[in-house]
């Protein structure tokens, strides 16, 4: 089982970030964090890195349900969505597969919810 869903998109990097944000909103997710890895590595370490953004996405109803079932599941939240630029300007969008991380929790109640979140994130990646 893979730990992510990924797709190469035919969009410029910034357009892919905007589109991912829009598609997440359509599925009820808001962006809690937006980490510009390229800028952070340049500022903190003085190193060059490709365009790479980590969007910390949260769907409040899903998060509430998960926390009600397992109080420490917050260590696995929010759901990460990555937009990165590869060689020759190729842009890839990836989202975490929550089913892979939910398995380590060992709470069978989370399975159905994890499947719903996974389906929503798959739709986001496919729609970008």
CB 68 within 8 A of CB 74: no
**Would you say the pTM of this structure is higher than 0.75?**
yes
| CA dist., res. 54 & res. 56, Å (int) | 6
pLDDT score for 125: 98
CB 34 within 8 A of CB 55: yes
Q: What is the average pLDDT score of the chain?
A: 96
Phi, psi of 31 (to 5 degrees): -95, 115
Structure confidence by residue, pLDDT tens digits, 26-45? 999 999 999 999 999 999 99
Looking at domain 4-127, which of 3.40.640.10, 3.40.50.12160, 1.10.8.420, 3.30.310.70 is its CATH number?
3.30.310.70
Q: What percent of the chain has pLDDT over 70?
A: 99
| CA dist., res. 47 & res. 6, Å (int) | 26
pLDDT score for 1: 67
What's the whole-number mean pLDDT along residues 97-102? 91
List the chain domain ranges. 4-127
Structure confidence by residue, pLDDT tens digits, 53-69? 999 999 999 999 999 99
């Amino acid at each position: 089982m893979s730990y992510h869903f990924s797709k190469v998109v035919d969009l410029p990097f910034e357009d892919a970030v905007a589109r991912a944000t829009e598609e997440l909103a359509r599925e009820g997710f808001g962006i809690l964090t937006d980490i510009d890895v390229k800028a952070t590595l340049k500022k903190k370490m003085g190193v060059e890195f490709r365009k790479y953004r980590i969007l910390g996405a949260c769907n409040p109803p899903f998060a509430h349900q998960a926390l009600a079932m397992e109080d420490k599941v917050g260590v696995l939240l929010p759901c990460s969505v990555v937009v990165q630029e590869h060689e020759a300007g190729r842009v890839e969008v990836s989202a975490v597969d929550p089913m892979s991380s939910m398995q380590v929790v060992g709470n069978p109640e989370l399975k159905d919810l994890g499947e719903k979140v996974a389906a929503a994130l798959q739709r986001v990646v496919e729609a970008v």
